[in-house]
Amino acid sequence: MSLPMNQQLKYWGIAAAVFVLLLWLLGDVLLPFVIGSAIAYMIDPMADRLERAGLSRAAATAVITIGAILTFALVTLLIVPTLISQTAGLIDTLPQLTNRFQAFLGERFPELLEEGSTIRQTLVSIGESIRERAPQVAETLLGSALSLINIGVLLVIVPVVSVYMLLDWDRMIARIDELLPREHAPTIRRLASEIDDTMAAFIRGMGLVCLILGTYYAVALMIVGLNFGLVVGFIAGLVTFIPYLGALIGGVLAIGLALFQFWGDWLSIGIVAGIFVVGQIVEGNFLTPKLVGDSVGLHPVWLLLALAVFGTLFGFVGMLVAVPVAAALGVITRFAVNQYLDSRLYRGDDGPGSV
């Protein structure tokens, strides 16, 4: 005999409360394990394909691990130093850009910068703030990151967790399936499959879209000769998972830098703007439909809300689990709505066949 509904709700509510409490109390401790599990989840399909090609699970994991180590070493040697140096250079250059923008306005629109005008005072304030606080902000961010995320621990624990999780992923999923309550197992499996499809489409698909667009923006801007092109491409690609925001932020930053660097060379400025126009066309018409699809079910506003709420409540770990939780809640909400539409509460006592 199955448990009454109120008992089931009580037990599931207690389980959810315990999960939230553990996330709250052990967020920093769980961070390497969350990241390692996320990495294993993202590359599990690759291991499955290698298994279908004839390799054992251990051999597939070894091949992926060696490839990941070589890729990480290559990126660290070739890209990370340039990215760090360009980021530092951009921070140092921001005060100069503010001064040049003020001089530009003074030459062409002198009435806007009259002594005591609001625009002049605002620009002076912005320039002084950037000049004084940019190094402090950079140091604070670095210090916070080092205190929140122990880089040494991450570099050691995350790869180990990823390897072990990838090696045992299928067995772990099978074990979890065995522990499901038998009465609700089919429904839970169906909902879990929908959640997995949603997360796979979004995380893996959008991750690949971000990588492709970030690489395209960075390479194209550096070919044009734009200073800090690698940083701008990295920023634009990083926030591409929010529709239009990546192109908007990257485009405004790139065009702003191009105006100061190429002023008078309108062809170069137009090429910089065209790079982001082409990127948006390719993303909207080819990359996102092909790699992500139309059935993800994660509205950008819902995603932003989840990131904001979980980031505020649980810090960096909360931001990492925000997308999976948002996907799960979206699937469960749609399931609850369908259940409501099939219930007597919605249809009435006479049911759908009433006259």
Give pLDDT, residue 352: 52
Looking at the fold, whether 27 and 163 belong to one and the same domain comes out as yes
The verdict on residue 318 lying in a domain is no
What's the pLDDT tens digit per position in 278-304?
888 888 788 877 776 654 556 667 777
What's the pLDDT tens digit per position in 256-278?
778 777 777 788 888 888 888 88
Looking at the fold, whether 100 and 117 belong to one and the same domain comes out as yes
The verdict on residue 339 lying in a domain is no
Looking at the fold, whether 92 and 239 belong to one and the same domain comes out as no
Looking at the fold, whether 143 and 163 belong to one and the same domain comes out as yes
The verdict on residue 348 lying in a domain is no
Residues 194, 331 contacting (CB under 8 angstroms): yes
Count of domains for the chain? 2
Looking at the fold, whether 212 and 136 belong to one and the same domain comes out as no
Looking at the fold, whether 175 and 197 belong to one and the same domain comes out as no
Give pLDDT, residue 63: 92
Looking at the fold, whether 42 and 151 belong to one and the same domain comes out as yes
Low-confidence residues of the chain: pLDDT under 70:
1-5, 8, 27-28, 80, 83, 86-154, 241-244, 292-300, 316-317, 349-355
Domain boundary among 159, 180, 201: 180
**Which runs of consecutive H residues, i.e. helices, occur in 262-299?**
266-282, 288-291
Q: Measured between alpha carbons, how far is 97 from 100 in angstroms, rounded to an integer?
A: 5
Looking at the fold, whether 32 and 165 belong to one and the same domain comes out as yes
Give pLDDT, residue 184: 78
Q: Is 26 helix (H, G, I), strand (E, B) or coil?
A: coil
Looking at the fold, whether 95 and 142 belong to one and the same domain comes out as yes
Domain boundary among 277, 296, 315: 296
The verdict on residue 263 lying in a domain is yes
The verdict on residue 351 lying in a domain is no
Looking at the fold, whether 129 and 204 belong to one and the same domain comes out as no
Looking at the fold, whether 134 and 221 belong to one and the same domain comes out as no
Give pLDDT, residue 355: 42
DSSP 193-257: HHHHHHHIIIIIHHHHHHHHHHHHHHHHHHHHT-TTHHHHHHHHHHTTTSTTHHHHHHHHHHHHH
Looking at the fold, whether 123 and 266 belong to one and the same domain comes out as no
Give pLDDT, residue 266: 82
Query: Model's pTM, two decimal places?
Result: 0.63
Q: Which range marks the domain in which residue 135 is found?
A: 22-180
